[in-house]
Structure 1
């Protein structure tokens, strides 16, 4: 099966609000928004904002919601996310799940990851109402595109980028949603999702229902159906494997994508430092570099924030990040996630 890539289709420059979409669909029953060629990879950097944490509340088991308030904030479209700079200096990415028409606040939600790298725990346990936090964005690598029909698949906290999409769909749109989670109590926004989706919703609580039936979900999906999926790797892999012919897949992952060819050990020369390190299979360039140069900057370790970007002097890179533009990828890489296609890389370190 060929390697699938995340498709990012941008329909014009208008915001995909309910009102705008309704005007489009009233103009034509086929809702023929123009389909543009996918943009170059990566996305523009956004200026940092200082916002007030106005609300910090638990909305499901293990999930907190943050409302960040400011002045006239940059607008966003469904699927967009913020980079949140935590007091510790860690940078984490969270999907916007509020109302795009509200330009005075941003709303995000995050699940506590017990065995994670500390960011979610800091959000849950150390942030408090009244604090001022730095955010960057919004940025959107998961935009809602025009399509004849939609299938949405959300796993747990993966409902956050999809929820604004559901609100933005026009009356009469053909769509269905599969929303799964470990337990009903752990699934955020459950009541709102039920109200929005009605009989379009397939709800799967794993402790009650087991794994979702994706074959049934995709049954009779017409040609050109847009499949939007956000969730853990097991769910996204299952959706990829069962994607019906003629459907267009849009993915938002919790973690960077892995190589389809596997990882082979390679060497990295640190030219300015006069050192060479070996990157074993299953490790990262960042980990190998920091063994020799422990002050090397990094933050998210997922290819989203850009802190660990390094200049590449020689060698071929397999880019696995979600940030760099094509021009930047010509001579640099994010060493937290990207790998080598050649047996050796030379970095300007």
Structure 2
């Protein structure tokens, strides 16, 4: 399914972190160090039920012997998180993709504000501890529906500013514009959480004219249609193949049907695993990973959801 480097890792431990949330510790069965990662990175779990899901790493990048992820038992699960909670067990070995990072942390920022919503705490928790380790100025705003559903809340540090907002206690959703008022323009802000919270965060930052804004999505902001209404050609530079992508078919499916081994996972344009270099043509970007500048450059595209604005694309495949 993927030509991304895969590791066969053992489930070393599973721990209850909050209502509906478990953490999973993965290690090499032979005790070897694992590939390095940076705060904000995620890994793909290739689950025995055939589903591939991406989960953020929440432990320290200094820990080379293990990966730790947090998994919410999503009520709308399509089989990934439900499998982890109901069937994955300590001692099992599963294929895991090497870490990738679509949510990189600027460790040189003069000040950083981290905003987490629910299970969005997983990459944010790793960022918080990494900035503390580096002695950087950082604060956290942690929002959840209730304290009982807030993973790692008991482990939050006492040496930085930590604010929490629990809807059940406050009787309302957080007012992010009020919470971020007074933040300096040089501050870098990061948010991970459900789609409505990300939208509110982006709106608040825009209203406050804060330029250094970073988000990570678990799901597309709106339903994505990966198929186009017209056909186009796709030239593969390395394999010397010429594909016709017909109307009503996604580029990813056309590539897979042609026997091209393409990294992919979410099929929603949010995990970044299918990012592919574009050598010619204008992509029709529909993903939730690339920045505006990256989209305008046209240098890469997410082939799982994106298409072509013209009649021809040339990809580095």
Is 1:62 matched up with 2:20?
Answer: yes
Is 1:48 matched up with 2:11?
Answer: no
2:51 matched to which residue of 1? 90
Q: 1:100 aligns with which of 57, 61, 79?
A: 61
1:158 matched to which residue of 2? 120
2:85 matched to which residue of 1? 124
2:151 matched to which residue of 1? 188
The offset of 1:165, in angstroms, is 1.6
2:237 matched to which residue of 1? none
Aligned length: 288
1:40 matched to which residue of 2? none
- Tell me the C-alpha RMSD between the 2 structures: 3.8
| Inter-partner Cα distance in structure 2 for 1:277 and 1:213 | 44
Mark the runs of 5 or more structure 2 residues left unpaired by the alignment: 235-241
Output one character per residue of 1:171-213: Cα deviation in whole Å (capped at 9) or x when no partner: 86433211111111111001112x3466x22211112211112
The offset of 1:67, in angstroms, is 0.5
Residues 49 and 134 of structure 1 are in contact (CA less than 8 Å); yes or no, is this contact kept in structure 2? yes
1:242 matched to which residue of 2? 204
The offset of 1:252, in angstroms, is 1.1
Name which of structure 1's ranges 45-54 and 75-84 shifts more when overlaid on structure 2.
45-54
| Inter-partner Cα distance in structure 2 for 1:322 and 1:90 | 21
Residues 143 and 174 of structure 2 are in contact (CA less than 8 Å); yes or no, is this contact kept in structure 1? yes
Give TM-score, length-normalised by structure 2.
0.76
CA distance 1:241–1:126, shift in 2 (3 Å): same
| Inter-partner Cα distance in structure 2 for 1:321 and 1:240 | 14
CA distance 1:126–1:208, shift in 2 (3 Å): same
Output one character per residue of 1:222-264: Cα deviation in whole Å (capped at 9) or x when no partner: 221000111111111111111132440011111245599x999
| Inter-partner Cα distance in structure 2 for 1:52 and 1:264 | 38
1:338 matched to which residue of 2? 306
1:252 matched to which residue of 2? 216
1:223 matched to which residue of 2? 185
Residues 277 and 288 of structure 1 are in contact (CA less than 8 Å); yes or no, is this contact kept in structure 2? no
Q: 1:320 aligns with which of 287, 293, 296?
A: 287
Residues 312 and 345 of structure 1 are in contact (CA less than 8 Å); yes or no, is this contact kept in structure 2? no
The offset of 1:162, in angstroms, is 1.1
Residues 157 and 188 of structure 1 are in contact (CA less than 8 Å); yes or no, is this contact kept in structure 2? yes
CA distance 1:226–1:203, shift in 2 (3 Å): same
CA distance 1:346–1:141, shift in 2 (3 Å): closer
